[in-house]
Amino acid sequence: MNTATTRDIPRTARSEPRITIYGPKECPNCGQAMVFFDRNSIAYTKICIEAGDTDHRYITEELGYAAAPVNRGHQP
C-alpha cells in the first residue's frame, strides 16, 4: 500500500489559493462576487479602489482591466 504525506505534495497544492477582489466601495458586482465566495466558503480579501490610486493603476495599467470587480487568484 502506498501512503503519501504532506511532504510528498508540492507546497502549492497543500495551500489554499488566495483571492483578492478589487473594486470601488459601492460596487454591486463586487457584492455579488462576495456573496458567491461566502456561500461557497471561499476566503477572499476586498480592496476598495478609487480612480488614480495605486491599486486602481495596478488593475488598469498592469493587468489591463477596465471594469469592476477584478477577482485575482494567488497561489502562495
Q: What's the pTM?
A: 0.70
Mean pLDDT score, 16-33? 90
Phi, psi of 69 (to 5 degrees): -85, 160
Is the residue at 5 inside a domain?
Answer: no
Residue-number span of the structural domain to which 50 is assigned: 15-74
Is the residue at 7 inside a domain?
Answer: no
Q: Residues 26-68: pLDDT tens digits?
A: 999 999 999 999 999 889 999 999 999 999 999 999 999 999 8
- DSSP labels for 22-33? EE-SS-HHHHHH
Q: What is the pLDDT of residue 74?
A: 72
CATH of the domain at 22: 3.40.30.10
Q: What is the pLDDT of residue 73?
A: 85
Is the residue at 67 inside a domain?
Answer: yes
Q: What is the pLDDT of residue 17?
A: 61
